[in-house]
Structure 1
Amino acid sequence: MSGRADTDWRPSLPWPGADAHKHARGRLGVVSGKASQTGAARLAARAGLRIGAGVVRILCPPDAAAVIAPAIEAVMLSPFGSPEALAELAEGMHAVVIGPAAGVTDATRANVRALAATGAALIVDADGLTVFEGWPSDLFDVLDRDDVLTPHEGEFRRLFPGLLENGREAAARAAAEKAGAVIVLKGPATVIAAPDGRMATNGNGAPWLATAGTGDVLAGMIGGLTAQRMDSFDAARAAVWMHAEAARGFGPGLIAEDLPDRLPAVLAALYDPRS
């Protein structure tokens, strides 16, 4: 299937029923970087909570806990000291975001691989992608079709050298097949491709998103929808569209911190109480 990522995913949006409780709405983990690099994880976590995940927990190195704790409220916090400890914390989570400001380090590479064994859907972004430059098969070998990679063009070239020479849509489709996961190739017209051949191009891009941290918010949104058991390809398409819609509604002066709190209005416009 190929088409535009407009709103044909609406019927699969996860709305809570009358008997819903927080754990039924999905558990999302977000891995933070070190103490001086916690903002990206906080943006992603808030976005995941705003888009409907019932429980969101930031998983952080021990030195970051004292920095993050005063800056969060409904988002929970758990420190970890090793990849094995991280994987143990992630057991029972439905999705985990890793990469935003995680650091281009051996520890990040080990953390991605440890999380891949937990069964949670992974949303791998930013440093979680760059750290596999030169060794992309080390990443692809641990992914499955429920996982999502969210590269901008620079990160895409690091993992899939040469593919962009064939154009963005062909490149995204080939990358999804090669990685065995959903690809979100970010840009003014973001392309979303699944390993089974489904592909869509987002049609409501907003220039206000060209500012630091907006990609972290998008990763959290995809994670929040995936944690609610939305199909990963549809979750990516929906999140990309809502991300742009939130930005368009805000307009000039947008910064990444504004986006999560614009999501309730976007969601309300999509909600059909008869569904």
Structure 2
Amino acid sequence: MTTAARYIPSSTDIARLAKSGARHKYDYGHAVIVSGPPGQGGAARLAARGALRVGAGLVSVLCGADSVAEHAARLDAIMVKPFAGGEDIGRQLAGLNPSALCIGPNLGLTARAGDLLDATLSLPHPVCLDADAITLIAEREAPYAGPFPAQTIMTPHAGELRRLIPHRFDTTTNRETLARMAAERWGCVILFKGVETIIAHPDGRCLTVASTAFAHAAWLATAGSGDVLAGIITGLLARGCDAMEAGALGATLHLLCAAECGPGLIAEDLPEALPAVLRHLLSEPDDGPAPR
């Protein structure tokens, strides 16, 4: 087993973040964020802003009819799409023509949340599974049996990773090994969040993303920052990155946004920092910088 390589975005990786005047919004993908219940939609909105700021051509939030007003009052460039009760949710999702989906941020652990998750996973599109989606997959009475859609990525923190591999999780085991175990168990890319983020593929590939300044990662220890990361990854999936690339590049951008914001950042600051980060990266003549 090879040791994980530190990820530093190449000029090719960075070029994927650019946009061409010869193309239009539909060329950059449609990211769909599945929202949780009324009053719990902030996480989905944070993810949606991350997806939009990283360059997805269109971003929609799918929510219950009882949450439309809440989202519409807070989102302008992002479309709000209600799903109709009693109709096939999978068909409604497919009708949005998503390029990639994100489900999990404040989704809840209810039967309705489980139905939304099942509908999302019934589609062949790339998907980012975060937060409550991970818990539902691991702990429902009838756990998800798979296989996942191609280009699926899960983004657990340590507590969620423990749920994914409960019989193999040991705090004395190094983080890289734990991420590899989870990737092998679930057959998808695992992004194990932390001061050093590990991105593991079921085929054995493994990358790390870490800042040379510990404080940058520490500033991300704030409510909602993981929701923004899930949105950034989903936006990159919508733009055509594979799950491994979207995870590594997304985690790098997330760290660079933290460095751009500095102490006192809150999650809402992270999407707003992306334009400056992207401007800097796209002006680099050679391979881009590692997280600062």
TM-score (norm 2): 0.88
Paired amino acid for 2:133:
G
Partner residue, 2:204: 197
* Distance across 2 between alignment mates of 1:75 and 1:245: 24
Match of 1:60 in 2: 63
Letter of the structure 2 residue corresponding to residue 256 of structure 1: A
Q: Following TM superposition, by how much is the alpha carbon of 1:151 offset from its aligned partner in structure 2, in angstroms? A: 0.6
Does the CA contact (< 8 Å) of 2:36 and 2:63 recur in 1?
yes
Partner of 1:237: 248
Is 1:134 the equivalent of 2:136? no
Paired residue for 2:126?
A: 121
**What code does the residue aligned with 1:7 have?**
P
2: CA distance, partners of 1:136 / 1:186: 26
1:127 partner amino acid: D
**Count of matched residue positions in the alignment of Structure 1 and Structure 2:** 275
Q: 1:167 to 1:16 in 2, by over 3 A?
A: same
Identify the residue that residue 31 of structure 2 maps to in structure 1: 28
2:112 corresponds in structure 1 to 107
The 1-side partners of 2:86 and 2:242 are apart by 27
Distance 1:113 1:83 in 2: 15
Q: Is the 8 A contact 1:14 1:230 kept in 2?
A: no
Cα separation, partners in 2 of 1:30 and 1:62, compared to 1, 3 Å: same
Of 176, 181, 188, the residue aligned with 2:195 is 188
Counterpart AA for 2:29 = G
Q: Quick one: distance in 2 between partners of 1:227 and 1:83?
A: 28
Question: 5 Å matches for 1:1-275?
Answer: 2-8=4-10, 10-11=13-14, 13-82=16-85, 85-91=88-94, 92-135=97-140, 138-165=143-170, 166-204=173-211, 206-272=217-283
Distance 2:61 2:32 in 1: 6
TM-fit CA distance, 1:130: 1.2
Contact 2:14 2:281 in 1 (8 A): no
Structure 2 unmatched ranges of 5 or more? 287-292
Q: 1:200-258: CA deviations, max 9, x gaps?
A: 11121521000100000000000000000111101110010110110112111110000
SS of 1:139's equivalent in the other structure is: coil
CA contact under 8 A between 1:33 and 1:103: conserved in structure 2?
Answer: yes
Asked if the contact 2:147/2:187 (under 8 Å) is kept, the reply is no
d(CA) in 2 for partners of 1:196, 1:261: 35
CA distance in 1, matches of 2:160, 2:87: 27
**2:227 aligned partner, one-letter code:** D
Aligned residues of 1:90 and 1:96 also touching (Cα < 8 A): no
Query: Could you say if the C-alpha distance between residues 190 and 199 of structure 1 is closer, same or farther in structure 2, counting changes exceeding 3 Å?
Result: same
| Higher CA-based Rg | 2
CA-to-aligned-CA distance 1:95-144 (integer Å, 9 cap, x gap): 11100011011222221121122222111101111123335983351413
Is the 1:30–1:56 Cα contact (8 Å) retained in structure 2?
A: yes
After the TM superposition, which of the residue ranges 121-130 and 158-167 deviates more from structure 2?
Answer: 158-167
Measured after TM superposition, the shift of residue 147 of structure 1 is 0.5
CA contact (8 A) 2:136 2:143 kept: no
Please list every run of 5 or more consecutive structure 1 residues that lacks an aligned counterpart in the other structure: none
